């Protein structure tokens, strides 16, 4: 599989969730690899570059529910694919036309979840406004996960030596989002001084806010560039199991 397709797995009570920026998912061979990787899991994709015709093809290739915001332009398209056993519990909450955000609610093991899949803009000012707009979708009434490509290095440790860690107003906005909703970077919380990278330039996070003490595990596959995949979450009780594999 291409190096850009690097999944992060976060089991929630035996449920796995994968997120990656596909950088285009139009060819049959590439789709087959990605769908095989996500089989039986919830899969959050960014930069799918799909249209309605391709979505129809994917529906024939994937056993389960498919929820998309295809958008227009070059770097566009987000999608959430859920396994067949969850399909009947899913409710589409929001999708926009640009192809940068899609939100669903679903149930698993008698728990309610909100899943927000995003791809933040590259331009700093637009990214700041986009992150600020996430506040209205984060709810303390249910377990809430924000998954996607934030295009932000949250800390200096998330940036490779070759990349400059510079002031970024969208990072400030993301920190406000985390503070306001009691979110923490769980991978950084468990690895406060560790340098571990998955791709240059692009940074990808998963935000999670939950009031339940759910046993967590994070599997992170990486190379030698800037950190892209992170888990950020809030729990009232913190009892985490963590495993990082090369």
Instruction: For residue 51, say whether it is annotated as part of any ligand binding site.
Output: no
Phi, psi angle pair for 116, to nearest 5°? -115, 115
* Secondary element (H or E) of residue 30: helix 28-37
Which letter, b or e, does each residue of 119-145 get, where b requires 16 or more Cβ atoms within 10 Å of its Cβ? bbbeebeebbebbeebeeebeeeebbb
Overall residue count recorded for the chain in this entry: 246
- How far apart CA 225 and CA 22 sit, in angstroms, is 17
In the chain, the N- to C-terminal Cα span, in Å, equals 16
**HEC string of 72-136?**
CCCCCCEEEEEEHHHHHHCEEEEECCCCCEEEEEEEECCEEEEEEEEECCCCHHHHHHHHHHHHH
Instruction: For residue 209, say whether it is annotated as part of any ligand binding site.
Output: no
- How far apart CA 103 and CA 91 sit, in angstroms, is 9
Instruction: For residue 213, say whether it is annotated as part of any ligand binding site.
Output: no
Whether residue 50 contacts residue 58, with contact meaning beta carbons closer than 8 Å, is answered with yes
Instruction: For residue 88, say whether it is annotated as part of any ligand binding site.
Output: no
Q: What share of the chain is helix, strand, coil (3-state, %, to 5)?
A: 25, 30, 45
If DSSP codes are grouped into helix, strand and coil, which group holds residue 188?
helix
Question: Which residues sit in the known binding site for Mg(2+)?
Answer: 21, 47, 149, 151
Question: Which residues sit in the known binding site?
Answer: 21, 47, 149, 151
């Amino acid at each position: 599989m291409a190096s850009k397709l690097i999944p992060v797995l976060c089991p929630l009570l035996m449920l796995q969730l994968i997120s990656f920026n596909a950088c285009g998912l139009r060819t049959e061979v590439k789709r087959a690899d990605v769908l095989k990787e996500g089989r039986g899991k919830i899969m959050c994709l960014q930069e799918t570059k799909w249209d309605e015709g391709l979505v129809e093809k994917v529906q024939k290739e994937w056993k389960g529910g498919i929820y998309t915001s295809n958008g227009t332009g070059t770097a566009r398209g987000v999608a959430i694919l859920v396994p067949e056993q969850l399909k009947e519990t899913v409710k589409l909450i929001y999708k926009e036309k640009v192809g940068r955000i899609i939100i669903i609610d679903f149930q698993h093991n008698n728990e309610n979840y909100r899943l927000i899949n995003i791809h933040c803009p590259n331009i700093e000012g637009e990214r700041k406004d986009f992150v600020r707009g996430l506040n209205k979708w984060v709810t303390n009434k249910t377990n809430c996960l924000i998954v996607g490509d934030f295009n932000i290095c949250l800390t200096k440790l998330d940036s490779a030596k070759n990349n400059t860690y510079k002031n970024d107003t969208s990072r400030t906005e993301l920190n406000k989002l985390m503070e306001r909703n009691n979110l923490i970077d769980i991978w950084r919380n468990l690895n406060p001084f560790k340098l571990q990278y998955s791709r240059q330039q692009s940074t990808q996070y998963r935000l999670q806010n939950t009031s339940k003490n759910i046993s967590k595990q994070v599997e992170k596959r990486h190379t030698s560039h800037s950190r892209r995949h992170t888990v950020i979450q809030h729990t009232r009780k913190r009892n985490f199991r963590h495993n990082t594999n090369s």
